[in-house]
Structure 1
């Protein structure tokens, strides 16, 4: 699958996200001035991702992905893996290996019926969040084993979980949210990384105290 060529940088996020009712309320409150750029002109095509979006998507260990059920209901699933499990495949294309789960296949089944996805990606320590619209394709492992093997690799080696298929997403639009009201959250590894210098210093000071006590005796 060759990444699609992107000829334009558009305002597709506004065209996808803002329906008539939302725009009507924005006009009442005046917020359409901030959010309505591009709505008065035709959709100019996918928004081209920049290195900032690439860093965000390929640097996370988790995100939430919404798909659409055949009956039209949204279905949200938490996806996670080792840091870097989301790969940039060039252009606006990203992919990740789909792990063996509970065998319900709700997200996979939804995508095989309707490829539209919405991603919510958060970096809690930095209070950053990115919303993404895209179109996803499900590729079974035996259909493209080389792609699945590529997506199964991370910086520390190969993903330990059993990977059964690849999910490839072509980004159509994205929007960065402000940090307001976002509570910083840290993993145990991130906490350890931040406090390790203080732990090391405490050990050094304790060794110094022990040495001075030995000298006194």
Structure 2
């Protein structure tokens, strides 16, 4: 399995053996999730016995961002676009009146 951090172009690959267990067979694992405030009923748990980890080359990972991460950057662009639209409309009105 792997984890990808798109904004930072990082990928962590893990080689592991996964075991599927019933929740009642792993009460100590279930207690950890309950302590985190996880309220759903946990029916089963995947336990990963990790044998190896490797950080991959970021060359071909396309950065992806959430809307919340883009809002500060995009705000100025949106403001500039609105100003240009208003200016364009004003210029069209002047041309139509000339």
Q: TM-score, normalised by structure 1?
A: 0.30
1:159 matched residue in structure 2 = 38
Choose between structure 1 and 2: higher helix proportion.
2
Report the equivalent of 2:2: 120
1:188 aligns with 2:67: yes
TM-score (norm 2): 0.59
- State the distance in 1 between where 2:54 and 2:12 align: 6
Q: CA deviation at 1:189?
A: 4.0
Secondary structure of 1:166's aligned partner: strand
From 52, 58, 66, the equivalent of 1:179 is 58
Shift of 1:161: 4.2
Cα offsets for 1:85-116 (capped at 9, x unmatched): xxxxxxxxxxxxxxxxxxxxxxxxxxxxxxxx
Greater Cα radius of gyration, structure 1 or 2: 2
Distance change in 2, residues 1:140/1:121 (3 Å): same
What SS does the corresponding residue of 2:15 show, helix, strand or coil?
strand
Q: Which runs of 5+ in 1 are unaligned?
A: 1-118, 203-217
1:132–1:159: structure 2 CA closer, same or farther, 3 Å change rule? same
Aligned length, in residue pairs: 76
Q: 1:160: Cα distance to partner? A: 4.7
Is the partner of 1:135 in helix, strand or coil?
strand
Change (3 A) 1:153 1:128: farther
Question: Contact 1:134–1:172 at 8 Å: present in 2 too?
Answer: yes
Distance in 1 (CA, whole Å) between partners of 2:5 and 2:47 is: 22
Paired with 2:40 and 2:70, the residues of 1 have a C-alpha distance of 25
Deviations 1:116-170 (A, max 9, x none): xxx121000100001110112222111223321313554xxx2354421222212
RMSD: 2.8
Runs of 5+ unmatched residues, structure 2? 80-98
